[in-house]
Amino acid sequence: MMTRAEMPFRSGTVALIGKPNVGKSTLLNTIVGQKVSIVSNKPQTTRRRILGIATTVDYQIVFIDTPGIHEPHTRLQKSMVEHSRAALSDVDLVLFVVDGAHHPGEDDKEIAKMIRGIGPSGAEISVVLCMNKMDQLKAENVQAFVEAYCSLAGTGEYMMTTATRGTNVDKLVQLILTHLPEGDAIFPEDEFTDQSSRFLVAELIREKILNSTRQEVPHATAVLVDEWEEDGDLIHIGATIFVEKPSQRGIVIGKQGQFLKQIGIDARLEIEKLLERRVFLQLAVKVREDWRMNPRMLQELEYSD
């Protein structure tokens, strides 16, 4: 019998797929142990493919967090869906994340169609089902919902989780590992994402806006880090928050600039934790009409290739 030290090292890639707001990013951050993907209760929070790398002495799992798959209406949304589809092209496993507290909907059915038969050369690709938000699932619905989702995903392998509490996440990881090949790590053990520091900082600022605004403002907001100067143990960061309308600019700035000031305070605390350095953060707000339809703008924001 093999001892733990003699167990073969496993390494592979896993695509996180699911409709918006099912908890993919929360699940990713929990497994990786670092915030690599921002979280909010707003649909379409994740706007591009994000790599999250979980490494231990026994394995390295490279997760590809994708924007929720939805019907695109802007160039930004089209780019988001394209990122999701591209993530399926060359992975060892698809982790289909669903809202386990609700019966499968039309979006779940469309995603299930997409993930079948999309492996290399048309080969079947392994699928594991993650029924998240199990804490909200009524006992009388468990069997029916499990059967419905397993039938939809074409798999009998599933795990019920509550990512926000870490419930069963370790069991999910062990299930994932059964599908990964033996082999060396793909990335150095100290790396946890492929995102640049500038992009991560911009996303942390955007997260604070998402969690503090309502209606059309969250979807109309983007953040670009345009200044970065290091002075000893202090980093001076300048970032511009883009919105699409003057009225949205007024909301983000707030009365006497108080709303923007609070966003800066909240974001700076998380940025300092991420960079492990002191940070001086300066924010500006600009109106850029229809930026979500502007290819050059999307490229500058790192939302498209």
pLDDT at 79: 58
pLDDT at 282: 97
Pairing label, strands 59-65, 10-17:
parallel
pLDDT at 120: 45
CATH number at residue 265: 3.30.300.20
Q: What's the domain range around 243? A: 197-300
Q: What percent of the chain has pLDDT over 90?
A: 55
Q: How many CB atoms lie within 10 A of CB 259?
A: 18
| Same-domain pairing of 10 and 41 | yes
Any residues with CB less than 8 A from the CB of 288 and at least 6 apart, and which?
242, 243, 244, 294, 297
Query: Could you tell me if residue 41 is inside a domain?
Result: yes
* Confidence (pTM): 0.77
Query: Could you tell me if residue 98 is inside a domain?
Result: yes
pLDDT at 83: 57
pLDDT at 298: 77
pLDDT at 38: 67
pLDDT at 121: 44
More confidently predicted of 21 and 60:
60
Tens of pLDDT, residue by residue over 93-104, are 999 999 999 999
- pLDDT band with cut points at 50, 70 and 90 for residue 117: low
- Dihedral (CA of 211, 217, 222, 228) sign: negative
Total domains, the chain: 2
- Judged by DSSP in three states, 162 sits in strand
Cα–Cα dist 139/145, whole Å: 10
Query: Could you tell me if residue 104 is inside a domain?
Result: yes
